[in-house]
Chain A
Amino acid sequence: MSDQFPILIVLAPLFGAVIIGLVGSRDHRVCMPVVLVALFTSLSAVIGTLTQVLETGPVDYFVGGWEPGKMAPGIHGPVEIAKGFGIQLRVDTLNGFLLLAIAIVSIFVSIFSIRRVNQKAASKTPQFYTLYLLLCVGLFGMTITGDAFNLFVLVEVTSLTSYALIAMGSKRRGTMAAFNYILMGTVGASFYLLGVGYLYLQTGSLNMAHIQEVLAANDFEIGRSKPVMVAFILIMVGIWIKMAFFPLYGWLPNAYSYCPSTSSCILAPLMTKISVYIMIRVMLSVFGWEWIFVDHVGWSDAVVILAVIAILAGSTLALAQRELKKMLCYLIVAEVGYMVGGAWLGDPERWGMSGAAYHILADAFMTLCLFLCAGIFAKKANATRIEHLSGMFKKMPLTMTGFVVGALAMIGIPPTCGFFSKFYLIRGGIEGGHWEFVIALIISSLVNVVLFFRIFEIAFFGAKPAEGHDHAHHDDEKDDHSTNDELTLLEREAPLRSLIPLFGTTAIIILLGVYNGQIVEWIRLTIKP
């Protein structure tokens, strides 16, 4: 049984989605239990796999039993299975923790979504949850796979469902943003596919480990050919579009800020982070560290400079925003800069890449925390702009506490995980000699201080009355409690189903920070073998 855990991670949400598709439209109440059962099954399978990984090293799973070296029964006797015959799933310490993060985030967001989806567009609830579970399937599958083409197929699953989840909001702007996202996302996926095609042309394989073996043969003789170089550029550009790396980030802010709260809570923490993971995976497991940083030295400098621009641009644009969700979206652009820059630092001890991998986990939970708060503010207090948050500490002290933890992590204050990821990134920057990256990180942290303390000030002392509520923007979310001061704290505060995920997330932010040494050590087992 335990050897089937890796596939179970992907299959549980898939079957959940199918079951909701079959019986969900008859009775909407069936959706939520199915979602939770499916995701908790995944979570336990992830935990099971991860314990195996930590005990015995990377776990491989060969779908269809096409395990290289084994014999397949043929008509005239057994036939040996060659490398790259079937599709391989592979869990190591790098993606094991990410799988865990996906499982936890998706469970939290589904708890958060309980009422929110039921209230609006009730007749489409089962479709929403089917798409939600399919999105989880795609995210798990992208993370767990060890096959370059299978990755593309799951990118398709993930992208299609995320387009739909973004466009499902009632606002027209959401549909438009989703359309932009479709165009950009399709271009990105096509670039990736083209790159994989070029690689196949030169190596005759789609299995990541096999490709790396072929490329590295005889001191990178095949790896130095032009199509491989082109393939690398195409794959990188494709992934950069998907993760909204600096010049290619145009689709992200609108797509994530005009979509329903539940969708933004699952997409913002995970989509860009998984793309960063794919980039690291491709760098490490397909092309290999030596190919990138020893054979093609000049490239990493250029990418780090792009990352520096991304960090500075993201932070500056975030400063200019008055809408809370938009501001968070631009912060994501900056955070993507952190991770890409970190992964490309190329310091010999690989602290930069380890920091980037750790930051994927940290940023997933930081972003989740802030987006959950933004969702609660929008829903409960009708506050989408920063001015609307005036007096929030008094109105919703618990939610605001969660927000403060998320914000402190974003700024990078110990003992939250944000501090330690920046610490590892800066260490990588210093050892790699990329001082511009170190300076950009510090500037960006300072900008975050300004950003979040501005919000704290407004929330604590209140804004000028002239900047009061502007109801014209959000007539579809009717809520008349926010201005009523006679309500008790219990009625003003967010409901339990929102607070449970929020405090779960804040606890993880702090735990990730406290146990950072151990986690990074585990991650480095894969990154620096």
Chain B
Amino acid sequence: MKWIALIAVTLTGSLLLFGVGDFPEWGDPHSPANQGPKLKSGEQVSKAVSQDFLTETYEVTKVPNVVTAVLADYRGYDTMFETVVVFAAGLAIFAILRVFGDGSDTPPMRAVEDDTFVEGDHSRIIIGTTCKLLIPIIQLFALYVIAHGHYSPGGGFQGGVIMGASFILLAIARDLKSALDWFSEKNFMTLASVGILIYAGLGVLCQFFERNFLDYGALKVFMISSDHPEQMARSYSMLGVEIGVAFTVTAIMFAIYANLSSRGELKEGL
């Protein structure tokens, strides 16, 4: 078997190396992906989309962060399904791991506490206090990352992961139970669906104004006091879908951790 793997790896590697031969220069501003494919005679075959993305994004969407505009508007359909992928991953973990019942027949995950810490539980105090201080800051930062996705690097996926991590930190520092008190299973499974509903719902809302799915410009009727209603509608809708993404990612991050760390019983974590 090792030989087969070796042959497969060698073949793939040499195939990739073979392809490198005709690559454009590293960082070449005239490469096909940057400026559009050209023939050897110098004739331009077509314009590259990336150029239009760079020059026209602010014009059309009033969003300074081009990456977010590509992600949430031009290719918002892709991003919606990426969120669905996250959602499906959480559901898959739930479907495979989650066990219902008292779970008394399975041995506990946590090793029996040894009595190294005799007087009080100093480690607990230090960790507990640090987490108490840190978690609100982490969550605030997560909200900042989500809300500023269309101005600066960030967005729903990143912010959602940070938000989910704050709950995971709580579960690690104290125990899964106290984390679940804050964020119960019913809540996170619902929140995951709500996230998708926000994203797809915004898209369908555009269809009610006789535009295509996810054509945020349709929502300009809600931008009453703006000079550029259509562009602002795009900008705010991007924030809207980012919030939807963040909901799903937060919920699923914690759901995956909770199910994995407790063997699907959601009783006692690591």
**Which single member of B19, B48, B100, B230 contacts A229 (CB below 8 Å)?**
B19
What's the Cα separation between A233 and B43 when bound, in Å? Answer: 28
Instruction: Provide the residues of chain B in CB contact with A204, threshold 8 Å.
Output: 32-37, 46, 48-50
Q: Kindly specify which of A57-65, A345-353, A450-458 makes contact with the partner chain.
A: A57-65
Say whether A87 contacts B50, CB under 8 Å: no
Distance A227 CA – B49 CA, assembled complex (angstroms): 20
Max chain A C-beta neighbours (<10 A), residue from B96, B203, B212: B212
Q: Assess whether B23 is interfacial by the CB under 8 Å rule.
A: yes
Q: Is A413's CB within 8 Å of the partner chain B? A: no
What are 23 contact pairs spanning A and B, CB under 8 A?
Answer: A4-B207, A15-B200, A21-B193, A64-B77, A64-B214, A75-B228, A82-B49, A85-B52, A127-B94, A149-B75, A150-B78, A157-B81, A168-B96, A175-B96, A204-B35, A210-B46, A214-B45, A217-B45, A218-B39, A222-B45, A226-B22, A227-B23, A229-B19
Say yes or no: A227-B39 contact (C-beta < 8 A), given A74-B59, A75-B231, A160-B85.
no
Is B189 interfacial (CB 8 A cutoff)? yes
A445 contacts the other chain (Cβ, under 8 Å)?
A: no
A167 and B37 form a contact (CB under 8 A):
no
Give complex CA distance A17, B15 in Å: 41
Contact between A75 and B19, CB atoms less than 8 A apart: no
Cα distance, A204 to B40, chains bound together (Å) = 16
- B95 in the interface (beta carbon within 8 A): yes
> Which of B21, B60, B62 makes the CB contact (< 8 A) with A72?
B60
* Total A-B residue contacts, Cβ distance less than 8 Å: 207
When the two chains form the complex, which single residue of A4, A7, A128, A202 contacts B95, counting CB atoms closer than 8 Å? Answer: A128
The answer, yes or no, to whether A86 is at the interface (CB within 8 Å) is yes
Q: Is the CB of B48 within 8 A of A66?
A: no
Cβ 8 A contact of A79, one of B45, B60, B82: B60
Which residues in A have their C-beta under 8 angstroms from that of B58? 75
Report how many residues on chain B are interfacial, defined by Cβ distance under 8 Å.
Answer: 74
Determine whether the beta carbon of A214 is less than 8 Å from that of B74.
no
Q: Is there contact, CB below 8 Å, between B74 and A85? A: yes
In the assembled complex, which residues on chain B have CB atoms less than 8 Å from the CB atom of A168?
A: 95-96
Min CB distance A88 to B, Å, is: 10
Contact check, B213 vs A73: say whether CB atoms are below 8 A apart. Answer: no
Would you call the interface of chain A mostly helix, strand, loop, or mixed? helix
| Chain B residue contacts of A226, Cβ below 8 A | 18-19, 21-22
Query: Does A266 make an interface contact (CB < 8 A)?
Result: no
Is A86 touching B74 in the complex (CB atoms < 8 A)?
A: yes
In whole Å, how far is B42's beta carbon from the nearest beta carbon of chain A? 12
Min C-beta distance of B121 to chain A, whole Å: 37
Contact mask for chain A residues 114-151; partner B; CB cutoff 8 A; 1 contact, 0 none: 00000000011001101100100100010000000110
**B52-77 contact mask (Cβ, 8 Å, vs A): 1 or 0:** 10001011101000000000011111
Residue among B46, B98, B186, B200 with most chain A CB within 10 A: B46
B204 at the interface (CB under 8 A from A): yes
Q: Are B204 and A85 in contact (CB under 8 A)?
A: no
Contact of A14 with B40 at beta-carbon distance under 8 Å, contacts A64-B76, A127-B94, A201-B24 already known: no
Q: Is A127 touching B95 in the complex (CB atoms < 8 A)? A: yes
Contact B39 A14 (CB under 8 A): no
> Nearest-CB distance from B54 to chain A (Å)?
12
Contact present for A18 and B49 (CB under 8 Å): no
* Pairwise interchain contact B47-A230, C-beta atoms closer than 8 A: no
Q: Please measure, in the bound complex, the distance between the C-alpha atom of A206 and the C-alpha atom of B189, giving whole angstroms.
A: 34
Instruction: Output the nearest chain A residue to B52 by Cβ-Cβ distance.
Output: A82
| Chain B neighbourhood of A201, CB < 8 A | 23-24, 31-33
Say yes or no for B223: interface residue by CB 8 A criterion.
no
In the A-B complex, the 10 residue pairs with the smallest Cβ-Cβ separation, listed nearest first, are A230-B19, A164-B92, A21-B193, A65-B215, A74-B59, A204-B48, A63-B77, A226-B22, A64-B214, A65-B212
Known A-B contacts A18-B200, A201-B33; A233 and B59 likewise in contact (beta carbons under 8 Å): no
Query: Does any Cβ of A come within 8 Å of B111's Cβ?
Result: no
Tell me which residues from 73 to 106 in chain B have a Cβ below 8 Å from any Cβ of chain A.
73-78, 81-82, 84-85, 87-89, 91-92, 94-96, 98, 100
Asked if residues A4 and B212 are in contact (CB atoms below 8 Å), the reply is: yes
Q: Are A25 and B189 in contact (CB under 8 A)?
A: yes
Cα A163 to Cα B92 in complex, Å, equals 8
What residues of A have a CB within 8 angstroms of the CB of B33 in the complex?
200-201, 204
| Closest chain A residue, CB of each to CB of B231 | A75
List the B side residues contacting A73 at CB < 8 Å: 60, 217, 230-231
Contact for B84 among A14, A86, A128, A150, CB less than 8 A: A14
Chain A contacts of B45 at CB under 8 A? 213-214, 217-218, 222
> Given A124-B95, A226-B22, list of 20 further CB < 8 A pairs?
A18-B193, A22-B197, A63-B213, A64-B77, A65-B211, A74-B59, A76-B59, A79-B56, A85-B74, A127-B91, A134-B88, A137-B84, A153-B82, A156-B85, A204-B32, A204-B49, A213-B45, A217-B37, A217-B45, A227-B20
Contact A4/B92 with A79-B56, A213-B46, A230-B19 known, Cβ cut-off 8 Å: no
Q: How far is B73's CA from A65's CA once the two chains are assembled, in angstroms?
A: 10
Using Cβ atoms and an 8 Å threshold, which residues of chain A touch B32? 201-204, 222
Would you call B184 an interface residue if the criterion is a C-beta within 8 Å of the partner chain's C-beta atoms?
no
- The proximity string for B residues 179-219 relative to A, scoring 1 for CB distances below 8 Å and 0 otherwise, is 00000001001101110110010011001000111111100
- Encoded as 1 (CB less than 8 Å from any B CB) or 0, chain A from 198 to 224 comes to 101111111000100110011001100
A471 to chain B, nearest CB (A): 25
CB distance from A121 to the nearest CB of B (A): 9
Contact of A7 among B40, B94, B213 (CB under 8 A): B213
Q: Tell me which residues across on chain B come within 8 A of A17, comparing CB atoms.
A: 196
CB 8 Å contact bits of A157-182 with B (1 = contact, 0 = none): 10011011001100000010000000
Q: Render A502-520 as a binary contact track against B, CB cut-off 8 A, 1 for contact.
A: 0000000000000000000
Instruction: Please give me the residue from chain B that is nearest to A198 by CB atom.
Output: B19
Which residues on A sit within 8 Å (CB–CB) of B52?
Answer: 82, 85
List of A residues within 8 angstroms of B224 by Cβ: none
| Docked pose: A225 CA to B19 CA in angstroms | 9
Output the nearest chain A residue to B88 by Cβ-Cβ distance. Answer: A160
| Chain B contacts with A in 4-32, Cβ cutoff 8 A | 15-16, 18-24, 31-32
Q: Does A397 contact B (CB under 8 A)?
A: no
One digit per residue, 1 when the CB lies within 8 angstroms of any chain A CB and 0 when it does not, for chain B 214-247 equals 1111000000000010110000000000000000
Q: Considering the chains assembled together, what is the distance between the CA atoms of A75 and B39 in angstroms?
A: 34
Q: Of the candidates B16, B43, B76, B228, which one forms a contact with A230 in the assembled complex, judged by CB atoms under 8 Å apart?
A: B16
The CA of A203 and the CA of B38, in the complex, are separated in Å by 9
Say whether A203 contacts B37, CB under 8 Å.
yes
A442 at the interface (CB under 8 A from B): no
Q: Is A154 an interface residue (CB 8 A)?
A: yes
Q: Say yes or no: is A234 at the interface (Cβ < 8 Å to chain B).
A: yes
Q: Which residues of A contact B95 (CB under 8 A)?
A: 124, 127-128, 131, 164, 167-168
The residue on B at minimum CB distance from A127 is: B95
Residue of A nearest to B190 (CB): A22
Name A77's closest neighbour in chain B (CB-CB). B59
